[in-house]
Amino acid sequence: MRRDPSQPHSNHPFFLFLFSLFISLTLAGNAGSQDFKTYFSQGRTFIDQGRYPEAIAAFTQALDLNPKFAPAFTFRGLAKRRINDDDGAMADVLRAIELDPQFGFAYFNRGVLKERRRDFDGALADQEKAIELAPQMSFAYSSRGFIKYIKGDLKGALADQLKAIELDPKNSYAFCNRGILKGKQGDLSGALADYNQALTLNPSTNFRAYVSRGLLRTKQKDFEGALADLNKALEIEPKSSPGYLYRAAVKKDQGDLNGAVADLNQAIVLDPGNRVAYTNRSYLKLLQKDFPGGLQDANRAIALDPGSSMAYKNRALLHKEKGNLEAAVADFNQALDLDPQNRVAYLGRGEVKEGRGDLAGALADYQKALDLDPTNLETAKQVGELKSKMALAASAKSGTPKTIPKKSVPAAKPKPRRIDQPDQLEILPVFGPR
């Protein structure tokens, strides 16, 4: 089996010296090869600089001179993928595989495209094939690790990132992916160190590392640093709908609801089918008390994805605030059918039950929410207050006075619960190959 020319060199994340040597040997003696090599080399340089339209033009000129050269199709497909032309990228990669079924980097690229389409089984098969053909290709391990992460195999995902780093200690994406795994396991300082290393290795094009570090900084309440990272990410990929989605989450946590809505507006302009953007905008409109606008967005999100628990939860909250309690309960029920871990849906449904006098039902919902987040002091307070209220009611009914600690007795006019709850914007995964 011949060596795959895509294997990364330690001093360059995508292109090897061996790859250049392979190109030179392949083209040696071919008519017009010097012009072809010039265009091909330009295309690779443009990709490295993030100048993707120019890269596409250069590879197209190269293919005009040599229309059967699989690597040119593969790298043109890579450039198209970077500008979100996934259909064009797939067409190029399929042509590359047709021309050279042993070209591992083409399978890697096709796997990434399948992953973006959420065809994880197909993506896994392609990355396995890429590794079979090019067992030293670091990026194939990064990609396979992503798919394992999606499938819940965190141990396997980490092993693949470690292998990717072993093969190429300058693979910035593997460091970023390992950072995401560390964050998932609660090792925030380790995650931050990996993100920093990823950006030291690749400060100019690693969109994912800036996004990941920005979201981590938000958790650490470093909003200024988080916003700077998200701004940098959008400088790298200004047409990234998910990029605006992530920045909206940072602005929301800063209290800039108008700025967050503006970013979600842009995310939807760039991708009108971005269900998460509609879901999150419906929640922000709830906070802004724009209930008709919020309901419109929640309806759109549900139409795009009827399996979204978050969208049903948001619509339930909107119905609840408008006083449409039957519709609210129906949507809370649906949200919980879709995701029994949806803590805020339990809280919202519990509040409706409490308002209707179903104190036992409300307590069951509050307790479930507390079980899902035992450290949440506000939910613990709700449980305690309702238990006190129920004890007073039972005492009054039995005619037996019962002493309740003063601090546990709810006020005559309790303050309304906060609509806002932590982590209520949905975040797309930012893991995997770029």
On whether residue 281 sits in a domain, the answer given is no
CATH code, 335:
1.25.40.10
Instruction: Look at residue 199 in the predicted model and tell me its pLDDT.
Output: 96
Under the phi-then-psi rule, with left for phi > 0, alpha for psi from -120 to 50, and beta for the rest, what region is 255? left
* Phi, psi of 290, deg, nearest 5: -90, 75
DSSP letter, residue 419 = S
On whether residue 39 sits in a domain, the answer given is yes
Whole-angstrom Cα distance, residue 80 to residue 150?
24
On whether residue 196 sits in a domain, the answer given is no
Instruction: Look at residue 418 in the predicted model and tell me its pLDDT.
Output: 45
Contact partners, residue 424, CB within 8 Å, separation at least 6: 283, 344
Whole-angstrom Cα distance, residue 363 to residue 414?
17
On whether residue 235 sits in a domain, the answer given is no
Provide the residue range defining the domain that includes 342.
320-408
Q: Among residues 104, 132, 167, which one ends one of the domains? A: 167
Contact partners, residue 285, CB within 8 Å, separation at least 6: 261, 291, 293, 294, 297
Q: Provide block-wise average pLDDT over 10 residues at a time, the chain (434 residues).
A: 37 41 45 80 91 96 94 95 91 97 95 90 96 95 91 93 96 93 92 96 89 92 95 91 92 93 96 93 96 97 95 96 96 96 95 94 95 93 92 78 49 41 50 35
Query: Contact at 8 Å (CB) between 190 and 201?
Result: no
DSSP code per residue over 356-397: TT-HHHHHHHHHHHHHH-TT-HHHHHHHHHHHHHHHHHHHHH
On whether residue 119 sits in a domain, the answer given is yes
Contact partners, residue 211, CB within 8 Å, separation at least 6: 229, 230, 233, 242, 243, 246, 430
Q: Among residues 152, 167, 182, which one ends one of the domains? A: 167
Instruction: Look at residue 150 in the predicted model and tell me its pLDDT.
Output: 85
Q: Among residues 167, 201, 221, which one ends one of the domains? A: 167
Whole-angstrom Cα distance, residue 20 to residue 347?
60
Instruction: Look at residue 276 in the predicted model and tell me its pLDDT.
Output: 93
Tell me the chain's radius of gyration from C-alpha atoms: 26
Instruction: Look at residue 5 in the predicted model and tell me its pLDDT.
Output: 38
Tokens for 288, please give them.
């802004």
On whether residue 153 sits in a domain, the answer given is yes
On whether residue 68 sits in a domain, the answer given is yes
Cα within 13 Å of Cα(218), Cβ side: 25
Whole-angstrom Cα distance, residue 159 to residue 142?
10
Q: How many domains does the chain have?
A: 2
Tokens for 44, please give them.
């690779």
On whether residue 176 sits in a domain, the answer given is no
Alpha-carbon dihedral angle through residues 149, 423, 295, 350, given to the nearest 10 degrees: 110
